[in-house]
Homo-oligomer: A and B are copies of this chain.
Amino acid sequence: MKVGVWFVGALGDVATTTVLGARAIARELAPTTGLVTARDLFQGLDLVAPADLVFGGHDVREGDPVETARDLARKGVLPHRLAEDPDLQADLRAFAERVRPGVAAGATRLVRRLESDAARERDRLGPAAALAALRADLRAFRTAERLDRVVVVAVASTEPVPELDEGALETEKAVRALVADERRKAEVPASLLYALAAFDEGCAYVNFTPSLGATPRGMHEAALAAGVPHMGNDGKTGQTLVRTALAPMFRERNLGVLSWSGFNILGNRDGAVLDEPGANAAKTTGKDRVLGAILGDGLGSSLTRIDYVPSLEDWKTAWDFVHFEGFLGTRMHLELTWRGADSALAAPLVLDLARCLELALRRGRSGLQPGLACFFKNPLGTDEQRLPAQERMLGEWAEGLRGGQRT
Contact = CB atoms under 8 A, between A and B. Distances in A.
Interface string A241-264: 110011011001111101101010
B38 A254 contact: yes
Indicate the member of A76, A248, A267, A391 with the most B CB atoms within 10 Å: A391
Contact of A249 (B79, B245, B323, B340): B245
21 contacts: A17-B327, A33-B255, A34-B254, A35-B327, A36-B254, A73-B80, A78-B328, A80-B80, A242-B334, A245-B246, A245-B249, A252-B391, A259-B310, A263-B263, A305-B305, A305-B307, A319-B335, A328-B344, A330-B341, A334-B337, A335-B335
A309 interface: yes
Given A255-B34, A334-B338, A311 B307 contact: no
A8 interface: no
Interface in A20-36: 20-21, 24, 30-36
Given A74-B80, A246-B246, A265-B261, A332 B344 contact: yes
A375 to B, nearest CB: 10
Contacts of A307: 261, 303, 305
Interface in A320-342: 321, 323, 325-341
A156 interface: no
Contacts of A265: 259, 261, 303, 321
Contacts of A321: 265, 317, 319
Interface residues of A, number: 76
Q: Is the interface of A mostly helix, strand, loop or mixed?
A: mixed
A311 B249 contact: no
Contacts of A334: 242, 336-339
Which 10 interchain pairs have the tightest Cβ spacing?
A388-B388, A258-B311, A34-B327, A330-B344, A332-B340, A245-B249, A335-B337, A259-B311, A327-B348, A34-B326
A18 to B, nearest CB: 9
A387 interface: yes
A249 B328 contact: no
A167 B340 CA distance: 48
A92 interface: no
A157 to B, nearest CB: 21
A348 to B, nearest CB: 4
A301 interface: yes
A183 interface: no
A328 B330 CA distance: 21
Given A252-B391, A261-B265, 20 more contacts: A32-B254, A33-B326, A34-B327, A36-B253, A39-B254, A78-B330, A79-B328, A242-B334, A245-B245, A254-B348, A259-B265, A259-B309, A261-B309, A265-B321, A305-B305, A311-B331, A326-B340, A330-B344, A332-B340, A336-B336
A192 interface: no
A231 interface: no
A255 to B, nearest CB: 6
Contact of A327 (B253, B258, B344, B374): B344
Contacts of A118: none
A195 interface: no
B311 A248 contact: no
A19 to B, nearest CB: 12
